[in-house]
Amino acid sequence: MGTPLYEPFDEDLLGCLCPQIKIVSSVSAGYNDFDVDWMTSQNIVFCNSRNAVCEPTADMAILMILAVLRNVKMLEKTMKQGLWRGKLGVYAPTDDPNGKVLGLIGLGAIGKVR
């Protein structure tokens, strides 16, 4: 969750709220910072947002793959130096993604986004 002051969300942090606490909800997809076993033993329902960020994460993964293939970092550097104007005719070499095969390992919710 990115809240190290409060992590992990476990008995030490939440125990003082028992038995009044009934639900713990996370806005993140993961749950590794939450002691779900302890919550279950206390009849606390835990909810996360596992599909909330699937599509934007898949989009970013594709964007990063294309950025690497097209050498975007070097293209940016070339443009900032003004070399794109043809002064030296220097252009960053790129690779064409056409015809490439992408293999997905661990096809979870993000990998299934269309």
User: Domain locations in the chain?
Assistant: 11-47, 53-114
Exposed/middle/buried for residue 39 (C-beta within 10 Å: 0-12, 13-18, 19+): buried
Q: Which residues contact 7 (CB under 8 A, 6 or more apart)?
A: 1, 33
Provide the pLDDT for residue 18. Answer: 95
Query: Against a cut of 0.85, is the pTM above it?
Result: no
Provide the pLDDT for residue 112. Answer: 83
| Contact status, residue 53 vs residue 29, Cβ threshold 8 Å | yes
Provide the pLDDT for residue 74. Answer: 82
